[in-house]
Amino acid sequence: MTSGSLLRVVLADDEPIAQRRLERLLGRTGLVEIVGLTGDCDQTVEAVKRLRPDLLLLDVQMPGATGSP
Specify if 55 maps to a domain: yes
Q: For residue 15, how many other CB atoms are within 10 A of its CB?
A: 13
Specify if 2 maps to a domain: no
Q: Can you give the CATH number for the domain in which 37 is found? A: 3.40.50.2300
Specify if 52 maps to a domain: yes
pTM: predicted TM-score of the whole model, two decimal places: 0.83
pLDDT confidence tier of residue 47, bands split at 50, 70 and 90: very high
**pLDDT tens per residue, range 4-18:** 799 999 999 999 999
Specify if 66 maps to a domain: no
The parent domain of residue 27 ranges over 7-60
Mean pLDDT of 47-63: 92
* Whole-angstrom distance, CA of residue 40 vs CA of residue 30: 27
